[in-house]
Chain A
Amino acid sequence: MAVFRTTLKAAALLAGLLSAGPALAAGPTVPLPDVRFSFDGIFGTYDRAAAQRGFQVYKETCAACHAMRQLSYRNLREIGLSEAEVRAIAATVMVMDGPNDEGQMFERPARPSDRFRSPFPNEQAARAANNGAYPPDLSVITKAREGGARYIYALLTGYTDPPEGVELMEGMYYNAYFPGHQIAMAPPLNEGQIEFHDGTQATVEQMARDLTTFLAWAAEPELEQRKRMGVRVLIFLTILGGLTYAVKRRVWSDLH
């Protein structure tokens, strides 16, 4: 009886949750391709090699337009780059520092503790360089779009010719997954544009998948720790729940 009621209550809680969640999702217009990632599921982790390749694509392609200002170079240690590699990567970038003792601002090579350098000083400059369109900061992009990582992958692989009868506006490109289908970003990925350090073939799908892994890590660097802790917490609570319920039965047994 009591067990039955508990189940009922849990069901009520869940029903409340589940009915609320989807209610929020106005939903993307086109169903997303069913891709799987290493970080899916309750035991998911980031594929380090993929994330490193993804960073390489970001650095060599996307960084020309998109900032990632929540990240520092030192964070790259988390996807498996060595201290020396991170130093070397940072050192290729010049950042503004100062004022020095003479009150002057000056440029110096970046250190691991510096934030990723942004390609534009402000939104206006970014728009001016992109026909008025704004390339968003990519630090938390997988959390900032309906569909998450799956949407980002779909977007990057979703460029096609416009269907019959669709007139593209000046400077716009057709993308199957972008809301409204007309996007101001030219297809950023082209077969073979990157020479991966590890020799992986740079197909569009490969680059998109690697980039998505990298961007998902950038948005949720705590994901592995979070899921690991979650599994442990749930195991602990299950045991505690069993014990508590047993004690409850004992305490109540003298009443019936």
Chain B
Amino acid sequence: MATGPHTSEFKNPVVRWIDARLPVFTLMQKEYGTFPTPRNFNYFWNFGALAMVTLVIMIATGIFLSMHYTPHVHYAFDSVERIMRDVNYGWLLRYVHMNGASMFFIVVFIHIWRGLYYGSYKAPRELLWMLGVVIFLLMMATAFMGYVLPWGQMSFWGATVITNLFSAIPLIGPDIVVWLWGGFSVDNPTLNRFFSLHYLLPFVIVGVVFLHIAALHVTGSNNPLGIDPKGPQDTIPFHPYYTIKDSVGLVVYFMVFAVLVFFMPNYLGHPDNYIPANPLVTPPHIVPEWYFLPFYAILRAVPDKLGGVVLMFASIGVLFVLPWLDTSPVRSMRFRPVARIFLLLWTVSFFVLMWVGAKPAEGIYITIARLATAYYFLYFLVILPLLGRLERPLPLPESIALPVLRGGGPLPAGAMSKPMEKA
């Protein structure tokens, strides 16, 4: 009895039996096998797969770390050191998890930037993009709480500074902070709940990633030209073409990851986190992990506490409405000579914010942080909405296949393109 409600194409009788009743094999085949994918991806299109692999690595190492970790203010620091010393390959687990968080953010930053450059947030992928921003927020929450777990000086003081931000909320702020802490300062209850949530949130991320992929498989992928595939000649099956191309990227990615883990495992961390937390000794500079620095810089650029908090959240919130702020119908920055320059400037402002976020908030640094913050928002709120109307984009190619089959070089302008195609 190989026929069920679903007619399966598979030959293997076991696979066929299952597939007829629960068509998971057909689903995988459709979504990852024959899935029609634009033929012109560059290596920027690796980063989604890399992020997914990293999420799996984080969950796997995290589960094993949790078997040896003790979420108590008296034991947390020592339990992490014990993992490093006495657990078989514990140092490897911990360094992979610790640097995996950094790698995760590097990958996701590039993944988001790819979206900004090639206009992947535009119709019909708005929801796909917004789900991505949700994942990014969840990642930040997860990483923040994870960093508290080893209970070093930066764990404790970072948690104190960041949770205190909520006290800026008018009227109920102070009560919210007490509620978050589970007491009157960052203490054992805080550590316990952070551990619980740190274990939980990655699985929420898995759920949102699933939706993110589901949405992707409805609209199909964007591509470096930003134009829609016009027919079968423009697409290729995901497997084997992109499975193998993603594998190449994955190996390169693992090499960078390995250099960090094996040769400079603490390079991206802060030495103060190897000093056990001490509520009575404030470190001279409290700095968050490097991936939070741009947002930390925006927070401190505003003289008013509430204003800073609002602006910091707005710096990510603005990404939610980006699909409606960018009024240009052309997706890829390849065909937007003016917008491209402004985006590159925005990228510079992001790195400037990252750099200045690690500096003390005084003197010239404040001015720099304010200028970079201003430009960060200016790009989204003023430049993009205006450019859609003012900029004259380059002519778009007729189809994906044409330029690819001709060797991928630049197109003779205008030769075989119509200007301002509605992408």
Residues of A bordering B, CB below 8 Å: 1-2, 5-6, 8-10, 12-14, 16-17, 19-21, 23-24, 26, 42, 69-70, 75, 136-137, 139-140, 143-146, 148, 179, 219, 221-222, 226-227, 229-231, 233-234, 237-238, 240-241, 244-245, 247-248, 251-252, 255-256
Partner of B272, one of A137, A144, A244: A144
> For residue B360, which residues in chain A have a CB less than 8 angstroms away from its CB?
26
- Quick check: A6 and B252 within 8 Å, CB to CB? yes
- Quick check: A237 and B268 within 8 Å, CB to CB? no
Q: Mark B223-258, 1 if CB is under 8 A from A, else 0.
A: 000000000000010001100110111011111101
Q: Which stretch, B195-203, B338-346, B350-358, touches the partner chain A?
A: B350-358
The verdict on B81 contacting chain A, using a C-beta distance below 8 Å, is yes
- Quick check: B236 and A255 within 8 Å, CB to CB? yes
CB closest chain-A residue, reference B288 = A24
- Not counting A230-B259, A238-B255, A252-B241, a sample of 11 additional A-B residue pairs whose C-beta atoms are within 8 angstroms of each other reads A19-B355, A24-B290, A70-B85, A143-B271, A146-B271, A226-B262, A233-B258, A233-B262, A237-B251, A237-B254, A251-B244
CA A241 to CA B293, docked complex, whole Å: 33
Q: A222-B84, A230-B262, A230-B263 are in contact. Are A241 and B244 (CB under 8 A)?
A: no
Q: A42-B263, A139-B81 are in contact. Are A251 and B241 (CB under 8 A)?
A: yes
CB closest chain-A residue, reference B270 = A24
The interface residues of chain A, by DSSP majority, are classed as helix
> For residue A140, which residues in chain B have a CB less than 8 angstroms away from its CB?
81, 274
CA A69 to CA B39, docked complex, whole Å: 59
> For residue A231, which residues in chain B have a CB less than 8 angstroms away from its CB?
262
B257 vs chain A, min Cβ distance (A): 9
- Quick check: B241 and A1 within 8 Å, CB to CB? no
- Quick check: A144 and B43 within 8 Å, CB to CB? no
The verdict on B91 contacting chain A, using a C-beta distance below 8 Å, is yes
**Chain B residues numbered 273-303 whose CB sits less than 8 Å from any CB in chain A:** 274-276, 284-285, 287, 290-291, 293
CA A247 to CA B267, docked complex, whole Å: 35
15 A-B pairs with CB atoms under 8 Å apart are A1-B408, A16-B106, A16-B109, A19-B351, A70-B78, A140-B274, A144-B272, A145-B271, A222-B85, A226-B262, A233-B262, A244-B244, A244-B247, A247-B244, A248-B245
CA A13 to CA B44, docked complex, whole Å: 11
> For residue A2, which residues in chain B have a CB less than 8 angstroms away from its CB?
43
> For residue A230, which residues in chain B have a CB less than 8 angstroms away from its CB?
258-259, 261-263
> For residue B351, which residues in chain A have a CB less than 8 angstroms away from its CB?
19
Partner of B268, one of A8, A9, A20, A26: A20
> For residue B110, which residues in chain A have a CB less than 8 angstroms away from its CB?
12-13, 16
A67 vs chain B, min Cβ distance (A): 12
> For residue B271, which residues in chain A have a CB less than 8 angstroms away from its CB?
143-146, 148
> For residue B3, which residues in chain A have a CB less than 8 angstroms away from its CB?
none
CA A6 to CA B44, docked complex, whole Å: 10
- Quick check: B293 and A237 within 8 Å, CB to CB? no
- Quick check: A20 and B255 within 8 Å, CB to CB? no
> For residue B263, which residues in chain A have a CB less than 8 angstroms away from its CB?
42, 227, 230
The verdict on B7 contacting chain A, using a C-beta distance below 8 Å, is no
- Quick check: A237 and B255 within 8 Å, CB to CB? yes
CA A244 to CA B251, docked complex, whole Å: 8
B259 vs chain A, min Cβ distance (A): 7
- Quick check: A23 and B358 within 8 Å, CB to CB? yes
CA A143 to CA B92, docked complex, whole Å: 16
The 5 closest A-B pairs by CB, nearest first: A230-B262, A144-B274, A20-B290, A241-B251, A222-B91
